[in-house]
Each structure stands twice: as structure tokens, then as C-alpha cells.
Amino acid sequence: MQATMMKVKLTLTHFLDRAGKLFPGVEIVSRMPDKSLHRSNYGEFHRRSRLLAEALQKAGVRKGDRVATLMWNHYAHFEAYFGVIASGAVLHTLNLRLAPEEIGYIADHAEDRVIIVDDILLPLFAQFRAQTRIERVIVVSLTGKPVPEGCTDYEDFLATASGDWDYPEMEEDDPIAMCYTSGTTGRPKGVVYSHRSQVLHTLVQCMPDGVGIASHDVILPVVPMFHANAWGIPYAAAMLGTKMVFPGPHLHPDDLLPLMESEGVTVSCGVPTIWLGMIQILDRDAGKWKLDKLRLTVGGSAVPEALIRGFARHGIEMMQGWGMTETSPLATVSRVMHTQGEVSEDERFATLAMQGYPIPLVDLRIIGDDGEQPWDGKAVGEIQVHGPWITGSYHELPQSDASFTADGWLRTGDVAAVSKHGIVKITDRTKDLIKSGGEWISSVDLENAIMGHPAVAEAAVIAVAHPKWAERPLAVVVLKAGQSVDAAGLRDFLSDKFAKWAIPDAWQFVDAIPRTSTGKFLKTALREKYRDWKWD
């Protein structure tokens, strides 16, 4: 017996055509380098994305070829997200925050043939081009200046297309985009997404039990479009026809806040760093901005409960998602579950500060030294995940088997406990756990607690060697401007939250904590810096 259902492939070009047909008049706003606003719409987006696809094919780009982008978040990057895919090629979003040598390695490893680059990023491109096999350089003139010799102006490139053109044959498992992990150890590794993986990710992301995005939302993605598909926002936006507000290169809260207000933004997403900066400005100038419809999605690293409470005081809801480049990226979202019943305000914030429950189609388990752990909120182990938008290998790296279990699950390297309600609480990265006198100490728990002190802007905790306890936690702290607290004050602040042995006795007050390109604390740098810590 056979099902009688139509055989219809899941392809992102369905979203592109849907946007053009149902939402042509909806605005796409982009902030330019000079801070002016560029206004386009989904009708133009649809037309121009298709022109880009046709022009790429005319320029000799063939199915599966990699087309790189080196771009900020704006209309042309959005067009590249769909135009490259529509041509049958693979969109490779280069992370402009990496060291040039690293970008060069990645572009070479991916065998990028064509690049679309913002004119203001040409100096960066010049620093790594020689490492790559890039033949064709298409430049988006954001400044309005002519593009250099040897490059093609993006608008001229689009003009080579006729508009009388059809999509090539596509399969839903075809590769459509790739990202490299910005791991703190080893060389970056490539993850290759498919039509199918991103269509499914989008559907679940938009559900109320995912992130919850509707067509009447107005979205400002602070998360860069070179970072894990901008958390899927471009795909969701095209499917729903949400008004988009792209911040371009201007990611400072002083720039974001007025833009959010004037364009009526309802959803914004980014790493905690962005919001840690924004909350200080909101607290300073409370009531200055009308943001009553705004809700924030945050991910990329653990979110201090104090930050969630801080935004709640301004009436702004903050939702945490957990995932990684390898998971497209959404794997869990944090919300109070109906299974928890009535919760107190403290329980509510405690829940929101966890990483949340696995979204539909994602399977999740925690594996400890003695196998799969119960969901009791106590037993910890490595999170392993399985699902249709989770990578099962790395691009041309057969030796990456250590990242996968024998039964085909992804080993995430994050250590967590799961509550009886299925809510994940990450205690650490496997390599960031501190083992003191035979007991595990969670650096993440300490960091979040320390960042709950009103004088603290940021805190990172690492393990340093200790003659007696093997390892002890060292807390590296950045104070807020004009605030003060000392180590004794912070130890006191932690005293009712942690066992005595878990509270750091080593403290460093610094001006800034080094970060990875995606805004996470760069703990390898801290470990290097404090490797020879002298105990009194």
C-alpha cells in the first residue's frame, strides 16, 4: 500500500517565491555605514535574489560550487542568502571577526570560487585573498564609491541577468549553505546545511514552542549573518514576510536602541555581550526608549539570570536558546513549561536562565561516565543530540569521528543536567569544568552568580592549578563604570549561593575579558595568561 500524498520537495526557494508573491510590499530596512537607512521590500528582494542566481549561473557558477560572503547584515546579504541557493550553489558565510589568516584557511578549505564582499571590508579581504582560490570578486558598494579595478560591482553583476529564468533542478538534501565552527581548539571545521534541514529548522523555530515568530513581527538580527545562519532568521523572515531591520556594521547599543524604537522592532536576537552592554544604557536612561513590544532572543553562551531580570524590569522579555553551528543552531529554548504548573517569580527566572527544553524533532540525552543519565536535575553528563538539522559529520573531515557517537549522535562538548521537566541546565563546557579536591565546580554557575552582583559588568571563571586541590577556580572580573566591590565583597555575595569550597579564593579585576569572534569569553587566552598563578 502507498500513501497518496504529493511528492513535494522541501526547498528554500519555496520561501523565496512565497515572499515575492504574498509580501511584496513589506519593508526591508538596512543601516548603511554612514548610518543612513536603505529601504527595500520583499518584491525587490524576490526579484533581485533571482537576478543574482541567474547572474551567478551566467558567470559559470555550477551546482554545489561555493560562493562566499564577507558582509555585514543588510539587504544584499539577505539577497545572497537566497540568490546563491537559488542558483544551485552553496552560500559560505565568512566570519569577518576571525583573524585574516584563519578566514583565509577557511575560504581555502571550502574551495570558495566567488566572493561577494562589502566595499568597507575589502581591506580585510586583501589580507587573506592570497591564501584562497577565489576567482571572482563581487563588491557591494555600501558607501556609493566606485568599486576597485578587477572587481565587479554587485549592481552591475545583477544587471547581467535577464529576469527570464527558472530555478535549476534541486533535491531537498542538496547542500545550500555552510558555516565553519569557530572552535577554540584545533582548526575550524565546516558544517554543510541542506534545503531540508533549514526548512524544517524554520518551521519549528517559528512555532510558539520554538522561538515563536509571526508574520506581524519586525525583526532586527544583531546576530551576524555569518554566524550559524543568523540563527535561521533570514529563512523565517522570507517564509513569513516579516519586516526586517538590518543593523549593518553598527552594533553598539547606542545605535541599536533608537533604530529599534523608530522601526517598531518586536524581535531581536544576539549574544549576551550585546545585551550586557544594552542593559547598562537602559538602566542609565530608563524610560527613554519606547520598546514595549520588544522581545529578545539570546544564545551563543550562557545567559546570567541577572540579565534576564534586568530586561524584565524594563518590560522586555528575554528568551534563551541553546545550540551551535553544528545544530543549525536551535536545539533547546528556554521557557516556563506547562508541566511545571504554577511557578513563583524566582522559579520563573531560574527556569529562564537555564538552556531550556529540546524543541520538536530534536532528541537529546546526557551521557556520563556510566552511560545515559536520568532526568533528575542532578546527574550530569555530556549533551548529545540527534535530529534532522544536526550535523552528522564535518565537511571533508572523515577524521572527525570523535565528535560523533557510534550510534550517530553529535557530542556537543557541553555538560549539563536535565530536570524532570526536560529542561537542560548547562554546567560547563567539558573542557571548562574545574575539578577541585575531587569535586566538580561549574565555571558557568559561578560566572552567572558573580554577574548578578550590581557592581559587576562581566565575569569569567577558569581553573588554575593548585598544589593541594589540583585545581581551584580563578574569577576574572570587569566592574561597571563608577562601581566598586572587592574580592571579599564578592565572596560574601556568593556565600549563600555556593558551598564554601566552590567559592573562588583567587580574584583578578581587569578592564576587559578577551573574547572569541562570536563574543564568547576566550578562556584559552585567560588560561594562558594565568597559567602560572601564584598562590599565597
Q: Which stretch binds its own copies (CB under 8 A): 30-38, 346-354, 388-396, 510-518?
A: 388-396
Spell out, one character per residue from 341 to 370, where the chain touches its own copies: x when CB under 8 A holds, - when not: ----------------xx-xx-x-------
391 binds its own copies (CB under 8 A): yes
DSSP per-residue codes, 54-66: HHHHHTT--TT-E
Q: Which stretch binds its own copies (CB under 8 A): 28-36, 269-277, 331-339, 498-506?
A: 331-339
Catalytic residue among 396, 435, 501, 528: 435
187 binds its own copies (CB under 8 A): no
39 binds its own copies (CB under 8 A): no
191 binds its own copies (CB under 8 A): yes
10 binds its own copies (CB under 8 A): yes
> Contact at 8 Å (CB) between 24 and 41?
yes
> Contact at 8 Å (CB) between 460 and 432?
no
172 or 471: CB nearest its own copies: 172
Provide the β-strand partners of residue 475.
461, 507
> Contact at 8 Å (CB) between 108 and 134?
no
Catalytic residue among 69, 181, 273, 412: 181
Among 131, 152, 184, 393, binds its own copies (CB under 8 A): 393
120 or 177: CB nearest its own copies: 177
Q: Which stretch binds its own copies (CB under 8 A): 21-29, 51-59, 290-298, 512-520?
A: 21-29
For 77, the 3-state DSSP assignment is: helix
Beta strand ranges found along 233-369 (DSSP E):
243-246, 267-270, 295-298, 317-323, 330-333, 357-358, 363-368
Active site residue 391: no
Active site residue 435: yes
Catalytic residue among 165, 440, 507, 533: 440
Spell out, one character per residue from 135 to 174, where the chain touches its own copies: x when CB under 8 A holds, - when not: --------------------------------------xx
Active site residue 535: no
> How far, in Å, CA of 13 to CA of 234, rounded?
13
> How far, in Å, CA of 396 to CA of 109, rounded?
9
Among 38, 58, 293, 386, binds its own copies (CB under 8 A): 386
CA 115 to each of CA 46, 61, 100, 450: distance values in angstroms, whole numbers, following the listed order: 21, 11, 15, 43
> Contact at 8 Å (CB) between 523 and 432?
yes
Q: Which three cell numbers stand for residue 70?
A: 564577507
> Contact at 8 Å (CB) between 170 and 374?
no
Taking the chain, what is the end-to-end CA distance rounded to the nearest angstrom?
77
Q: Mind telling me the catalytic residues?
A: 181, 326, 435, 440
By CB under 8 A, name the binding residues for its own copies.
Answer: 1-8, 10, 14-15, 18, 21-23, 25-26, 64, 66, 90, 173-176, 190-194, 196-197, 200, 203-204, 206-209, 212-216, 239-243, 337-339, 357-358, 360-361, 363, 386-395, 408, 410, 421-422
